[in-house]
A and B are shown apart, each in its own frame.
Chain A
Amino acid sequence: MKLKMNRRSVLKTLVSSAVSAAFLRPGGNASAHDFSGYETNRGVLVDLSRCIGCRSCEAACNREQGLPAPHIAFDDQSVFEQEHSRRPDQNAYTVVNKYDSLLWEHPLFRKIQCNHCLEPACLTACFVNAYTKTPEGAVVYNADVCVGCRTCMIACPFSIPAFRYDSAFSPRIMKCIFCYDTRLSKGRPPACVEACPMEALTFGNRQELLSIARKRMRREPHRYVDYIYGEHEAGGTSWLYISPVPFAKAGFDMEVPKQPILNFVKDFLAMVPMVLTIWPGLFAGIFLLCRRRGSVAGTGESQESKISGEIIDESHGE
């Protein structure tokens, strides 16, 4: 009787777990695997054909984020000749570089800042979870938990995060946060967008920006090359770019993978649980195979060998 009850309860458990596995799991799993970004993901469309290199965005960013004064003033255009390929660093979240191309009548300018990836490499590489992707699309950084390992700088395919190497006691990563605290979280565009006189920067929902980009390209095909940088780069970015010249000519890295950086470490991460589960049994087994009976004294006490030891001993006995 008691046995029967037990059997029944076991059966019940089995059935219910099978049911839940069949009906509940797939739904949950599918949504986890197919997550293609937040619907509310905001972005900025950068139209290189519009930018005139006035550096208003740099100035606005500097003011908004309270960054140190630049060593070349923001209204000084000579910076383009003095420093050819600047990158965002510990003093600037965004910089504008100039590119001369024979394919376009006037000089081209390219604004560089965090692209706020849909699947940020910095976030996936961070072992203390200092990065967060907000539903608005911003990739924000928490200096309070950062250890300063700088793996995010290695991982970022756009080389955006910068480290404050010159600070002994409060170093941190410096990186564009899409003006999350002061603006984006309140539904407003970042400071650089608002400052852009040419509206080379357009703020909006990423999906709509993509359609705007395509529309501009369709309307003025002579004005744009048929490519939206950031649509697929690194698995897609919030900031998107359209350009009148091939992107490589405007300093864009075309070698950036078209899939999330995370994909490149998945092979290894998938191997981890296998090693964790297979190795103990495997090596305990090898130990027992190598052991001549009675020859090793002190080691027999550990549990693995005790349990499987009996099995081996039995097989020896046959």
Chain B
Amino acid sequence: MKVMENNSEILSGYGGGYEPADEARISEKLLLGLSGRQYLDLIVKNPVNWAVAAILVIGIPLLLQRYLMGLSSVTHGSQDYPWGIILGFGLFGMVPLSASGFMLGTTVEIFQRADFKPIERLALLNGLLGYFFAVVFLLVDLGMPWRLHYAMFVSFGPAAVLFLVAWHVATYLSVQIAEMLPAFAEWANLPRLKRFVRSIVLGLTIAGIILSTLHQGALGALFCYAPGKIHPLWISPEFQWLHYFVSSIFGGLCMVIVVSSLVRRYMTWRCDTNFLGNLDGITLGLAKGAAMAFITYLIIKIVAVAHDEEWLYLVSGWGIYYLAELFTMAVVPLCLFAVGVRHRRVTLVRWGALIAVLGIVWNRLNTVLVSYNWTSHQEIPTWQECWLVATILCFYFIVYRFVLYRLPVLFTHKSA
């Protein structure tokens, strides 16, 4: 926390809460109104950047190695575990946490809840970047990343679940870019672009709901291809897509709570009073919504266990591990949210959200790696593979911060 305070000190020193004039040059806007030297100063003096640099110093060569010498030069390259931690974390973990965009898009644009407006853009940005970096993770893991577009333009397998995922993620990414365009238009001073996007926002939001429902579910349905390989507790073909869809609802909401908490704490200079003043109330509101999703999730989970008659598995070692995951992912956050909302203790809600976020990632890793091939053997990802995950996460962090510093996401633009 010391870290970012430094940062804000510097920024407030150089004129915190920088908001460029409309006619300012792009270069000035990019540098936050600082001179090149000052900006460099800003970067160097921030210890977080050093930590990021330390990861990248090893991570970027690893990335090069992956592309020049093949996947197996850095990953476990296992024939039995085709999807490792890169996809398990990067695609299956990132996507549910990025459901925030459509959740708050729906809340604000469809349900007309203007009280959630201050956090809408953060949620949209979180969604956009989450999806974008899920695709980046995919590009690292894909055998032939240069053929990413094949499912769209070259060869079609429309009956495959992954076909849906590919098309929906691609279109939804476009939708999310469009949804973020107003913020960009305000920053770049392009009022006509903003007006155009505002005119189609309802269509975009509804498209977002459709695409999200389908591909969040589709990510779960992907595992229905391996009913015999995944431990029965982690796979129930009839309900898998529901599990993934419902968990993405609280996943997205909790991720927004976590990000907004971090931003409020470490990027205070960038937030306006509209954001800061309303955040506690909004957080509690999000927690209420998430609590409903937690309850739904728990019920479907129980229904799945009952439907597949898996009660006996629950008393095995796997069952205890499963319950631990379920408690981390849903029960503990649900309790924290309940107490937090009842007594208006926002800090409790924030911690609960963090636990839920970690729980979802854990659940996805459990499905892809731990419970996969449960009857045979377990494979541990190599350190390089984990380092690559950290590397892409650093890029995610850098881009996320870069955008938050500049675009009117945490503050309302004067033109709005």
A and B directly contacting (CB within 8 A):
yes
- Residues of B contacting A198 with CB < 8 Å? none
A75 to B82, CA, bound (A): 31
A145's closest neighbor in chain B, by CB?
B155
Q: How far is the CB of B172 from chain A (nearest CB, A)?
A: 13
Contact call B79/A268, Cβ cutoff below 8 A: no
Contact call B143/A146, Cβ cutoff below 8 A: yes
Contact call B82/A268, Cβ cutoff below 8 A: no
Q: Does A201 contact B (CB under 8 A)?
A: no
- Residues of A contacting B111 with CB < 8 Å? 286-287, 290
Stretch from B219-227, B246-254, B342-350 that touches the partner: B219-227
- Residues of A contacting B82 with CB < 8 Å? 150-151, 153-154, 163
Q: Does A280 contact B (CB under 8 A)?
A: yes
Contact of A154 among B83, B142, B165, B205 (CB under 8 A): B83
Q: Does B72 contact A (CB under 8 A)?
A: yes
Could you tell me which residues of chain B, from 205 to 261, have a CB within 8 Å of some CB in chain A? Answer: 205-206, 209-210, 213-214, 217-218, 220-229, 237-238, 240-241
Q: How many A-B residue pairs have CB under 8 A?
A: 201
Q: Does A184 contact B (CB under 8 A)?
A: no
- In the complex, besides A172-B143, A264-B224, 6 extra interface pairs with C-beta distance below 8 angstroms are A125-B225, A148-B147, A283-B206, A287-B206, A292-B112, A303-B203
Contact of A166 among B72, B162, B228 (CB under 8 A): B72
Contact call B202/A304, Cβ cutoff below 8 A: yes
Q: How far is the CB of A288 from chain B (nearest CB, A)?
A: 10
Contact of B69 among A90, A168, A303 (CB under 8 A): A168
Contact call A128/B150, Cβ cutoff below 8 A: yes
B237's closest neighbor in chain A, by CB?
A264
For B, the interface residue count at a CB cutoff of 8 angstroms equals 67
Contact call A126/B157, Cβ cutoff below 8 A: yes
A78 to B160, CA, bound (A): 42
A149 to B143, CA, bound (A): 6
Contact of A290 among B112, B151, B157, B228 (CB under 8 A): B112
Q: Does B75 contact A (CB under 8 A)?
A: yes
Closest 8 pairs (CB-CB, A-B): A148-B143, A165-B77, A165-B72, A150-B82, A268-B221, A153-B82, A155-B225, A145-B155
Stretch from B3-11, B193-201, B356-364 that touches the partner: B193-201
Contact call B71/A257, Cβ cutoff below 8 A: no
Contact call A269/B159, Cβ cutoff below 8 A: yes
B205's closest neighbor in chain A, by CB?
A283
A15 to B104, CA, bound (A): 49
Could you tell me which residues of chain B, from 361 to 415, have a CB within 8 Å of some CB in chain A? Answer: 375
B171-209 Cβ-contact flags toward A at 8 Å (1 or 0): 000000000000000000000000000111111011001
Contact call B110/A290, Cβ cutoff below 8 A: yes
A149 to B400, CA, bound (A): 27
Contact of A146 among B106, B144, B163, B209 (CB under 8 A): B144
Q: Which residues of B contact A (CB under 8 A)?
A: 67-73, 75, 77, 79-80, 82-83, 106, 109-112, 142-145, 147-148, 150-151, 154-157, 159-166, 198-203, 205-206, 209-210, 213-214, 217-218, 220-229, 237-238, 240-241, 375
Q: Does A279 contact B (CB under 8 A)?
A: yes
- Residues of A contacting B157 with CB < 8 Å? 126-130
Q: Does A56 contact B (CB under 8 A)?
A: no
Contact call B70/A302, Cβ cutoff below 8 A: no
A90's closest neighbor in chain B, by CB?
B79
In the assembled complex, 14 residue pairs joining A and B whose CB atoms fall closer than 8 Å, in A order, are A127-B160, A147-B150, A148-B147, A153-B79, A166-B72, A261-B225, A264-B227, A275-B214, A284-B202, A298-B199, A299-B201, A301-B199, A302-B202, A304-B203
Contact call B213/A275, Cβ cutoff below 8 A: yes
A159 to B373, CA, bound (A): 10
Contact of A127 among B151, B237, B241 (CB under 8 A): B151
Q: Does A253 contact B (CB under 8 A)?
A: yes
For A, the interface residue count at a CB cutoff of 8 angstroms equals 65
Contact of B227 among A87, A261, A287 (CB under 8 A): A261
Secondary structure of the B side of the interface? helix
Contact call B110/A171, Cβ cutoff below 8 A: no
Q: Does A22 contact B (CB under 8 A)?
A: no
B166's closest neighbor in chain A, by CB?
A127
Q: Does A291 contact B (CB under 8 A)?
A: yes
Question: With contacts A127-B160, A154-B222, A157-B228 known, is A279 near B77, CB below 8 A?
Answer: no
Contact call A148/B142, Cβ cutoff below 8 A: yes
Contact call B150/A257, Cβ cutoff below 8 A: no
- Residues of B contacting A279 with CB < 8 Å? 206, 209-210, 213
Q: Does A89 contact B (CB under 8 A)?
A: yes
A303 to B82, CA, bound (A): 45
Contact of B70 among A145, A167, A264 (CB under 8 A): A167
A64 to B229, CA, bound (A): 32
Contact call A168/B70, Cβ cutoff below 8 A: yes
Q: Does A220 contact B (CB under 8 A)?
A: no
* Of A164, A264, A268, A271, most B-chain CB atoms within 10 Å: A268
Question: With contacts A268-B241, A271-B217, A304-B202 known, is A171 near B222, CB below 8 A?
Answer: no
Contact call A159/B237, Cβ cutoff below 8 A: no
Question: With contacts A267-B237, A304-B203 known, is A151 near B213, CB below 8 A?
Answer: no
A267's closest neighbor in chain B, by CB?
B238
Contact of B160 among A126, A148, A167, A264 (CB under 8 A): A126
A128's closest neighbor in chain B, by CB?
B155
Contact call B225/A298, Cβ cutoff below 8 A: no
A279 to B159, CA, bound (A): 21
Contact call B156/A129, Cβ cutoff below 8 A: yes
B66's closest neighbor in chain A, by CB?
A168
A151 to B221, CA, bound (A): 12
A154 to B145, CA, bound (A): 19
Q: How far is the CB of B31 from chain A (nearest CB, A)?
A: 32
A272's closest neighbor in chain B, by CB?
B214
B223's closest neighbor in chain A, by CB?
A154
A302 to B150, CA, bound (A): 33
Q: How far is the CB of A277 from chain B (nearest CB, A)?
A: 10
A234's closest neighbor in chain B, by CB?
B228
- Residues of B contacting A257 with CB < 8 Å? 227-228
Q: Does A81 contact B (CB under 8 A)?
A: no
Q: How far is the CB of B206 from chain A (nearest CB, A)?
A: 5
Could you tell me which residues of chain A, from 135 to 157, have a CB within 8 Å of some CB in chain B? Answer: 145-151, 153-155, 157
